[in-house]
């Protein structure tokens, strides 16, 4: 055969060394004639495409070909004989590849020494193949030409497939970060999705830089970190970061653009309000053009989400301030300048997290808790501020504040207000059923009400009231232990007492003015 004597392209030593380290293109030759397989190997000896050699796999029957396809998912080109153990063994293998394996990426070429068994026109029309050749046609040069063509097609198809898969992963990653509700959650989600998007397991850090104002200079804070950089989470400025990262961040800030390095990537984005967010990814190996394109595409989505989330947080902060102010207005009727509602909200938030609620649920409780006693606006000052014990008629009037507050808050369709209504109605219910207004017991009491009930009691006992003095912390601890399973949810009491010092510290951070 002519192709037995074709010359191979010479391979330079440095090029050969580089190609040894590159992944190979996999080619499968399926033919029941060992000589044909051997000649094919010889003809393609030293063949390279885009700096990568060809690894030739061989099978001597359609059944063996199936086994190899099951074992080797990344075969670029398959050269298949039609007549082997049966007159249509090659055709059955093609059908297996395309239909059962759903493989439409491998470039498939049929060749035959008996063209009468399978007419070319019918085979090309009915089977998903790239070409159909007689064995006598395939000289060494034509075989190489076929392989160049097949590998180019395989490269283009796999590139399109990777881009499509990358787009899908970008969309999924973006949808995940859209479900976050705070900048810190957002930052953590970005780090996780970014490393997953690129198939990396490297270190990363996300930093927010606030614009300077008349009241404060330009400031930075780290929102999240991963890998070997996790110890730098919650840092307050760029100078506290490793010098190399700090320098890269400063370069990005100065140039106002993202930076691609051999060993790192820095995402830069500046929103309309002047806030700049920086994402640093430490790379163990340089990423390719395709991965860079994915990074840039993902960065666009991250930037847009960041801006929207910043606006959302500002709205939530404003809403929280309004709620707190309303709660304060109610509280100040009996204790001017008191920070009771702020402390109850903070303690409730920490308590919710300590029993495993997610950040969003805990934050809802944080925003709703200040309104737990809003119904007291309907209680007469003579009752609310009475220094002594209330008589039965006064006590009956006092207890109405739970229902009044719940009905007032339930008029709103906002989620936070609906939660606040649950809290207002249920935070005086007792675990043993002895509370009011409905005499609910155990888990029939909404969890948000149980949380705020304990936080309210914990803070109230440590605050002087017209009818009693402040309790020492040890007496408060003893009281809560005694009321576990009676007035309060035992699980919540265990969580608070198990980390008593932390809850005391939260309380002390917000003293009465």
Q: The dihedral of CA 126, 129, 130, 133: what is its sign?
A: negative
Report d(CA 426, CA 488) in Å as an integer.
12
Instruction: Give the burial class of 369: count Cβ atoms within 10 A of its Cβ; 0-12 exposed, 13-18 middle, 19 or more buried.
Output: buried
Residue 181: phi and psi, rounded to 5, are: -120, 0
Report which of 247, 309, 320 is spatially closest to residue 275, judged by C-alpha positions. 309
Long-range contacts of residues 332-336, Cβ cutoff 8 Å, at least 24 apart: 333/376, 333/377, 333/381, 333/384, 333/385, 334/384, 334/385, 334/465, 334/466, 335/463, 335/465, 335/512
Active site residues: 376
Report d(CA 95, CA 365) in Å as an integer.
60
Dihedral, CA atoms, 346, 494, 358, 230, nearest 10 degrees? 90
Q: Cα 174 to the chain's mean position, in Å? A: 8
Q: Cα 454 to the chain's mean position, in Å? A: 33
């Amino acid at each position: 055969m002519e192709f037995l004597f074709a010359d191979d392209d010479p391979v330079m030593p440095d090029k050969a060394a580089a190609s040894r380290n590159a992944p190979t293109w996999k080619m499968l030759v399926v033919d029941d004639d060992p000589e044909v397989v051997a000649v094919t190997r010889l003809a393609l000896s030293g063949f390279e495409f885009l700096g990568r050699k060809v690894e030739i796999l061989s099978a001597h029957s359609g059944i063996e070909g199936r086994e190899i396809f099951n074992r080797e998912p990344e075969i670029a080109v398959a050269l298949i004989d039609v007549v082997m153990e049966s007159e249509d063994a090659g055709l059955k293998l093609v059908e297996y590849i395309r239909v059962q394996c759903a493989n439409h990426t491998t470039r498939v070429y049929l060749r035959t020494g008996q063209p009468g068994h399978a007419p070319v026109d019918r085979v090309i029309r009915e089977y998903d193949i790239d070409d159909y050749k007689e064995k006598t046609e395939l000289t060494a040069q034509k075989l190489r030409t076929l392989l160049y063509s097949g590998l180019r097609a395989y490269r283009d198809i796999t590139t399109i497939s990777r881009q499509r898969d990358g787009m899908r992963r970008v969309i999924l990653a973006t949808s995940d970060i859209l479900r976050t509700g705070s900048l810190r959650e957002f930052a953590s989600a970005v780090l996780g999705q970014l490393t997953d998007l690129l198939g990396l397991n490297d270190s990363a850090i996300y930093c927010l830089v606030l614009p300077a104002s008349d009241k404060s200079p330009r400031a930075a804070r780290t929102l999240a970190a991963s890998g070997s950089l996790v110890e730098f989470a919650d840092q307050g400025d760029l100078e506290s970061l490793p010098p190399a990262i700090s320098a890269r961040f400063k370069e990005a800030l100065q140039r106002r653009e993202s930076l691609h390095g051999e060993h790192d990537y820095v995402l830069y984005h500046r929103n309309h309000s002047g806030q700049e967010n920086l994402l640093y990814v430490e790379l163990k190996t340089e990423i390719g053009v395709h991965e860079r394109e994915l990074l840039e595409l993902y960065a666009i989505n991250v930037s847009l989400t960041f801006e929207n989330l910043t606006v959302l947080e500002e709205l939530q902060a404003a809403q929280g301030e309004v709620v707190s102010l309303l709660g304060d207005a109610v509280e100040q009727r009996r204790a001017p300048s008191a920070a009771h509602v702020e402390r109850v909200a903070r303690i409730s938030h920490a308590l919710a997290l300590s029993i495993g609620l997610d950040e969003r649920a805990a934050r809802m409780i944080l925003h709703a808790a200040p309104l737990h006693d809003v119904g007291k606006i309907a209680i007469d000052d003579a009752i609310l501020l009475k220094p002594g014990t209330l008589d039965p008629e006064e006590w009956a009037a006092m207890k109405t504040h739970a229902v009044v507050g719940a009905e007032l808050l339930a008029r709103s369709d906002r989620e936070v207000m609906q939660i606040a209504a649950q809290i207002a109605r249920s935070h005086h219910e007792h675990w043993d059923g002895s509370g009011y207004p409905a005499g609910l017991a155990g888990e029939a009491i909404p969890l948000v009400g149980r949380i705020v009930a304990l936080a309210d009691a914990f803070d109230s006992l440590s605050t002087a009231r017209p009818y009693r003095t402040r309790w020492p912390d040890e007496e408060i601890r003893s009281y809560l232990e005694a009321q576990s399973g009676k007035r309060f949810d035992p699980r919540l009491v265990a969580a608070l007492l198990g980390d008593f010092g932390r809850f005391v510290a939260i309380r002390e951070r917000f003293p009465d003015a």
